[in-house]
Amino acid sequence: MARTERHAKRPAPPGLDFVPVEGGPATMTFGVVRRQIGKGPVQTAHQAVLRRLCPGGAATLADSWQPNCYRCDVLLPPKAPDDCLDPKALCDLYEKHSFEGIKDLVVMATLRLQSPDRLHQEWEAVRAFAHDRLCKERHLAVVAVMHLPVLVGSTNPPHIHLMMPARELHSFGFGELVRPLATDRGKQILADELAQSLPGFLAD
């Protein structure tokens, strides 16, 4: 826990809304978007999700959400309300059910892909992992987003963001916080489960 608290006091690096957890697979970036990091800006689940659905910063929270990413999907646990298939409605519900002092907003994992010629296979493999291990086993909603930076002239590799509102989602709405996944330990937990489900996926 002490290590997590030290991370919480460090500012997020420029261009990020969370503090990445060090160590572990180089092909995975992991962290938790918090309500506020130190004296940094107050954040919302909407901001974290929308910036990945609409990379480039052109969309605002007031706009209707029209994703411009390469691919996206919302995955839900079995008893979640159907309305939450809309990512904006999912974020609305998370903020509506937040309580005073809540720190955890979105557990964020970014997976850099090794086989850019088989993007559909990589997408389906990660999607199936997220549905089985995160939605069904942990009762988490997951907003999955694929970016293909080469389409906008970037040399960054293709990658998938898995964005998990940081509480279990049930028929009544959001419930228990998802610790220890929403701590520094979460990176190794997720890496271990990926290694079990998708051997070799995180190889450097």
Poorest-confidence range of 61-65, 77-81, 100-104, 138-142? 61-65
Question: d(Cα 16, Cα 186) in Å, to the nearest integer?
Answer: 18
What's the mean pLDDT in 168-181? 96
What domains are defined for the chain?
2-197 (3.30.930.30)
CA–CA separation, 178 and 101 (whole Å): 16
Asked if residue 127 lies in contact with residue 103, where contact means CB atoms within 8 angstroms, the answer is no
**Residue 167: is its pLDDT beyond 60?**
yes
Each residue's pLDDT tens digit, 43-69: 999 999 999 999 887 667 777 789 999
Per the rule left: phi > 0, alpha: psi between -120 and 50, beta: everything else, 40 is: beta
Q: For the chain, give the percent of residues with pLDDT over 90.
A: 74
Please indicate whether residue 59 or residue 171 has the higher confidence score (pLDDT). Answer: 171
How many CA atoms are closer than 13 Å to the CA of 135, on its beta-carbon side? 23
* pLDDT score of 9: 57
Beta-bridge partner residues of 146: 71, 160
In sequence order, the 6+-apart residues with CB closer than 8 A to the CB of 121 are 115
Q: Please check the confidence at residue 7 and state whether its pLDDT lies above 60.
A: no
Which of 9-23, 46-60, 100-114 is the most confident on average?
A: 100-114
If one compares 10 and 138, the residue with the highest pLDDT of the two is 138
- pLDDT tops 70 at residue 6: no
Q: Report the C-alpha gap between 96 and 69 in whole angstroms.
A: 26
Q: What gap in Å lies between CA 109 and CA 133, rounded to an integer?
A: 14
Query: Residue 204 — very low, low, confident or very high, per pLDDT cuts 50/70/90?
Result: low
Q: What is the pLDDT of residue 154?
A: 86
- Percent of the chain topping pLDDT 70: 91
Nearest CA among 119, 114, 109, 116 for reference residue 161: 109
Alpha helices in the chain (DSSP H): 2-9, 45-53, 87-96, 119-129, 137-138, 185-197
pTM, full prediction: 0.91
137 is written with which tokens?
């086993």
CB 28 within 8 Å of CB 111: yes
